[in-house]
Amino acid sequence: MFSIIGWIFFGLLVGLIARSLVPGTQPMGCFRTIMLGVAGSFVGGAIGYLLQGGSAVQSSGWIGSIVGAILLLVISVRRSKFID
């Protein structure tokens, strides 16, 4: 139970940091911000796996999570501009 609450809190913080570092507006609510942070953690883990090995599906630390979330956010913003 507490690990789920921890992931939600971690995802929210990472998502908010990533959204503040990427310029422009990102029309997303609280739930999408949490999902951005959690998904960014796994993308950061995949980047870490590619760089130094280890488990293919793993979460990463703060910096890796923020880098992964920024990468996902930039892709999302570019994709939404391309579709519109």
What does the pLDDT look like over 24-34, one tens digit per residue?
888 889 999 99
The tokens 């990468």 sit on which residue? 71
In a 3-state reduction of DSSP, which class is residue 41? helix
The tokens 């739930």 sit on which residue? 31
pLDDT at 59: 63
pLDDT at 58: 62
Give the pLDDT confidence of 6-16 residue by residue, as tens digits.
889 999 999 99
- Residue 20 vs residue 56, higher pLDDT: 20
Cα 25 to chain centroid distance, Å, stands at 16
Mean pLDDT of 15-21: 94
The residues, ordered by sequence, that sit 6+ positions from 27 with a Cβ below 8 Å of its Cβ are none
| Nearest Cα residue to 50 out of 67, 38, 73, 70 | 67
Residue 65 phi, psi (nearest 5): -65, -40
